């Protein structure tokens, strides 16, 4: 499979126009994390290094063709002293498949600080690699993420709360050393954040196989981190109804620092399964 360095190597083809490469894929449609990651790389190419991305909001408009490259058009919405805003549209065959707004904050701003504590979870080396627990059919498609080490914490090893409708915790990291550039780690995490999150909505419904797909995706980046070191993805699904499900995730590093937060809505239709759904959960 392609490395994350290859996936995120977008090509500048004109001012504020970039092309994200396509690679052989097991998936029926372009993985949402790939589109989001390439869109974010495109946006960062137009922003001064004095700024770092702090949030993104994306909408998946159409299923992408994994065999086709995606062209990204960047609009320079605003360049301010403290914040900079970009809008990115991903296009295949003349149609928009993805749109994203990304906001960048000047590096070095100061203010008061607090954060939630990291939830209890067994250490990553106490949890099996996801590939060890999947069926042969699931493994054949899960190879899409072969360069990522993904470990879903077993329910028996989780401390849960009755106040949450659905909970799941996942350790994950990129398996190989990555460049030191923090921008690269942020864009890699944008790719990774789409992994397994919709699967948290299936925890209360283990025997249901929905038609699942990401609809929209929002992220906030709070503190520096490395995507090639273990990160704990604490996931919940507060609600599912009308064929849609809301999921949320908090991402902590091994030191317990909250480095990013994610909110995603996805399809959860029943009776219209596509055979793609097991990619949304590492179980």
Q: Give the residue extent of every domain in the chain.
A: 1-107, 125-283
Active-site residue identified among 34, 201, 214, 237: 214
167 tagged catalytic: no
- The C-alpha atoms of residue 180 and residue 166 are separated, in whole angstroms, by 35
Structure token digits, residue 140: 């054949």
Active-site residue identified among 149, 194, 228, 253: 194
DSSP 164-221: -S-EEEEEEEESS---S-HHHHHHHHHHHTTSSTGGGGGTT-TT---EEEEEEEEEEE
Q: Supply the CATH classification number for the domain 125-283.
A: 3.10.129.10
Q: Which helix (H) or strand (E) holds 212?
A: strand 211-221
Q: Report pTM.
A: 0.91
194 tagged catalytic: yes
25 tagged catalytic: no
Q: Mind spelling out the 3-state secondary structure of 138-165?
A: HHHHHHHHCCEEEEECCHHHCCCCCCCC
What is the CATH class of 1-107?
A: alpha beta
Which pLDDT tens digits describe the chain residue by residue (283 residues)? 799 999 999 999 999 999 999 998 888 889 999 999 999 999 999 999 999 999 999 999 999 999 999 999 999 999 999 999 999 999 999 999 999 999 999 999 999 999 999 999 999 999 988 766 665 555 655 677 889 999 999 998 998 888 999 999 999 999 999 999 999 999 999 999 999 999 999 999 988 888 888 999 999 999 999 999 999 999 999 999 999 999 999 999 999 999 999 999 999 998 754 443 333 433 3
Closest residue by Cα to residue 60 from 280, 254, 271, 282: 280
């Amino acid at each position: 499979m392609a490395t994350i360095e290859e996936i995120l190597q977008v090509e500048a083809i004109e001012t504020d126009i970039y092309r994200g490469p396509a690679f052989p894929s097991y998936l029926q449609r372009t993985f949402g994390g790939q589109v989001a990651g390439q869109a974010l790389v495109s946006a960062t190419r137009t922003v001064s290094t004095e700024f770092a991305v702090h949030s993104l909001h994306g909408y998946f408009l159409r299923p992408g063709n994994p065999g086709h490259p995606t062209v990204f058009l960047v609009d320079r919405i605003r360049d301010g002293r403290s914040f900079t805003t970009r809008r990115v549209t991903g296009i295949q065959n003349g149609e928009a498949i993805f749109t994203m707004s990304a906001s960048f904050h000047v590096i070095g701003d100061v203010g008061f600080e607090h954060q939630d504590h990291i939830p209890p979870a067994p250490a990553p080396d106490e949890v099996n690699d996801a590939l060890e627990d999947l069926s042969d059919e699931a493994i054949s498609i899960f190879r899409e993420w072969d360069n990522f080490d993904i470990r879903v914490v077993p329910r028996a090893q989780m401390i849960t709360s009755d106040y949450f409708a659905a909970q799941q915790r996942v350790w994950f990291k990129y398996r190989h050393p990555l460049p030191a550039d923090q921008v690269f780690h942020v864009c890699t995490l944008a790719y990774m954040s789409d992994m397994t999150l919709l699967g948290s909505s299936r925890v209360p419904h283990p025997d249901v196989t929905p038609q699942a797909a990401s609809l929209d995706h929002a992220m906030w980046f709070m503190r520096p981190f490395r995507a090639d070191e273990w990160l704990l993805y604490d996931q919940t699904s507060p609600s599912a109804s009308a064929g849609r499900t809301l999921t949320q995730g908090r991402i902590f590093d091994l030191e317990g620092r909250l480095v990013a937060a994610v909110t995603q809505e996805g399809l959860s239709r029943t009776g219209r399964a596509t055979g793609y759904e097991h990619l949304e959960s590492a179980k």
